Every structure is written in structure tokens, then in C-alpha cells.
Amino acid sequence: MRQKIYKVSRERAITIAANHNCVSKETAAKYTDSELKEVLRQLRLKPAF
């Protein structure tokens, strides 16, 4: 069976990045798209932005 790939919105990606990197949401909101995509790639999630 294939593993389901979950897609994540930008707002949810900011929340995940804040928790993953132990920073505030305000700091994570300043991340660029490529930085957010890198965090999601480490967690095997697909960006939907």
C-alpha cells in the first residue's frame, strides 16, 4: 500500500514550523516559503501553497 501524503496550508505550516523549531508563531510567520517547505519535507508533508 502507498502511504498517504498529507498536504498542508501555509497557515498550518507556520504553526508546525513554530513547534518544530521551538520559536514563536510571529518568528515562524517571517519564514520564507522555501524555509517552510524544508520543515515540511523533514516531516514528510507536502506544502499546498
pLDDT of residue 30: 96
34 phi and psi angles, rounded to 5 deg: -65, -35
Q: Residue with C-alpha cell 520564507?
A: 32
What are the boundaries of each domain within the chain?
7-47
**CA 12, CA 14: separation in Å to the nearest integer?**
5
pLDDT of residue 37: 95
pTM of the model: 0.85
Map 1-46 to HEC letters: CCCCCCEECHHHHHHHHHHHHCCCHHHHHCCCHHHHHHHHHHCCCE
pLDDT of residue 18: 97
pLDDT of residue 2: 84
If the chain, 49 residues long, is cut into consecutive pieces of 10 residues, what is the mean pLDDT of each piece?
A: 87 96 96 95 92
